[in-house]
């Protein structure tokens, strides 16, 4: 056989529809290579029970049958149920193993396993560390998870506990105990910046207003800040409540230019710097683009805020076509407002 390292998860019950029972009928087969899983699943074991009858197959019997078919048992591992009940055609009884699980049942089982893994990590990893745990179960694995989530223990994995981790779920059930191998994707979550008190719109964030807290699964999906230095000195664009995870959309650079302020606008082009005055049409923080209005001809153009009461533009030294609207900073020096300052570098 070419299959290596497969997990053979024995079902508690099955009802084959063919004359010969195969390994794929009695077990969910997990292998890295799907072709290996198909090869193992096709191995024939024994005749299907007659209609109305059943047969119980235990793990030792199945191991003997596989050895007779030259399957190297050292390369594979049995898990799941300790025995399987094989129902003959027409045998009454539950057939849950033959029907796909509903999406809600599968999600519930995955959530219960996720919670069990998170508890396992809290017990063994550094205190305060938060984790993103992604669980994806097969139907066979999900069927082994108790509906109430009780009696699930986790073992396995390796520090530092990140990346693809292999665990084994030990289900302590008096009626259907099981050991279920699973693979889980784990990532350590960086702490996030949280407001420690309610802050009003327009306030400047101070170091005392925020703190780092462990991330949660919800905050990990948001755009968040991961260091206090990123938010200190910035202005709140909206009010935030205590405990809020701060996000970029809630912060902006402090407003240094207010609407209707008369500001100094500097134009730079080809080594020439020209200053004039204009009226701000919008509020703006450092590096914001705002609309400004010339005090000379009321022409509106866009400038970038460069400091308190200051903005700048980079004019193109291109001659505008005759009759076209012209940028005030492309005009000859004599057309600028009285009192403008020109500095040639």
Q: What is the pLDDT of residue 12?
A: 85
C-alpha distances in angstroms, 272 versus 54, 296, 306, 318, 337? 96, 21, 18, 14, 17
Q: What is the pLDDT of residue 175?
A: 63
Residues of the chain with CATH 3.90.1210.10: 192-252
Q: What CA–CA distance (Å, rounded) separates 156 from 284? A: 55
Q: What CA–CA distance (Å, rounded) separates 51 from 27? A: 21
Kindly give the confidence (pLDDT) of every residue in the chain, 345 residues in length, as a single tens digit, with 9 standing for 90 and above: 344 578 899 988 888 888 899 999 999 988 888 888 889 999 999 999 887 677 889 999 999 999 999 988 888 888 888 888 888 876 444 444 456 778 888 889 899 999 999 889 888 877 777 788 888 888 878 888 887 777 888 888 888 888 888 888 888 766 667 788 888 888 888 888 999 999 998 888 999 999 988 776 565 556 788 889 888 988 898 999 998 899 888 888 888 899 999 999 998 877 788 889 999 999 888 888 999 999 988 999 999 998 899 999 976 654 444 444 445 554 443 333 334 444 433
Determine how many CB atoms are found less than 10 A away from the CB of residue 279: 17
Counting Cβ atoms within 10 Å, is residue 299 exposed (0-12), middle (13-18) or buried (19+)?
middle
C-alpha distances in angstroms, 273 versus 123, 159, 176, 287, 288? 64, 60, 83, 19, 21
Q: What is the pLDDT of residue 123?
A: 85
What does pTM read for this prediction? 0.42
Q: What CA–CA distance (Å, rounded) separates 337 from 282? A: 22
Chosen CATH of 7-98 out of 2.60.480.10, 2.60.40.10, 3.30.70.250, 1.20.210.10: 2.60.480.10
Q: What is the pLDDT of residue 148?
A: 77
Closest CA to 29 of 152, 145, 104, 139: 139
Closest CA to 191 of 141, 148, 127: 127
Q: What is the pLDDT of residue 124?
A: 82
Chosen CATH of 192-252 out of 3.30.70.260, 3.40.50.2300, 3.40.47.10, 3.90.1210.10: 3.90.1210.10
Q: What is the pLDDT of residue 316?
A: 63
Topology of domain 256-344, per CATH? SH3 type barrels. (2.30.30)
Q: What is the pLDDT of residue 260?
A: 93
């Amino acid at each position: 056989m070419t299959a290596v390292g497969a997990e053979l998860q024995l079902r508690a019950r099955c009802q084959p529809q063919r004359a010969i029972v195969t390994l794929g009928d009695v077990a969910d087969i997990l292998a890295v290579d799907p072709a290996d899983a198909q090869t193992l699943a096709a191995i024939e074991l024994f005749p299907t029970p007659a209609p109305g009858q059943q047969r119980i197959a235990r793990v030792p019997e199945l191991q003997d049958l596989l050895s007779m078919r030259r399957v190297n048992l050292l390369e594979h591992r049995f898990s799941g149920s300790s025995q399987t009940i094989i129902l003959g055609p027409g045998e009454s009884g539950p057939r849950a193993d033959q029907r796909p699980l509903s999406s809600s049942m599968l999600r519930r089982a995955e959530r219960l396993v996720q919670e069990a893994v998170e508890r396992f990590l809290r017990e063994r990893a550094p205190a305060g560390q938060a984790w993103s745990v992604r669980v994806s179960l097969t139907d066979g694995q999900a069927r082994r998870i108790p509906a109430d989530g009780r009696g699930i223990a986790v073992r396995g994995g390796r520090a530092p506990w990140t990346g693809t981790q292999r665990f084994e779920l030990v289900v302590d059930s008096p009626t259907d105990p099981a050991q279920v191998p699973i693979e889980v994707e784990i990532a350590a979550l960086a702490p996030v910046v949280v407001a420690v008190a309610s802050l009003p719109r327009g306030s400047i964030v101070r170091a005392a207003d925020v703190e780092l807290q462990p991330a949660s699964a919800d905050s990990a999906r948001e755009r968040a800040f991961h260091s206090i230095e990123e938010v200190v000195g910035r202005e709140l664009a909206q009010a935030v409540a205590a405990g809020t995870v701060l996000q970029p959309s809630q912060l902006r650079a402090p407003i240094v230019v207010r609407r209707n302020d008369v500001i100094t606008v500097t134009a730079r082009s080809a080594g020439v710097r020209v200053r004039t005055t204009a009226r701000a049409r919008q509020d703006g923080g450092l590096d914001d683009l705002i609309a400004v209005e010339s005090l000379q001809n009321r022409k509106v153009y866009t400038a970038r805020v460069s400091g308190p009461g200051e903005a700048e533009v980079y004019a193109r030294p291109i001659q505008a076509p005759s009759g076209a609207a012209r940028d005030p900073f492309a005009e000859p020096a004599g057309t600028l407002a009285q009192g403008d300052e020109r500095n040639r570098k």
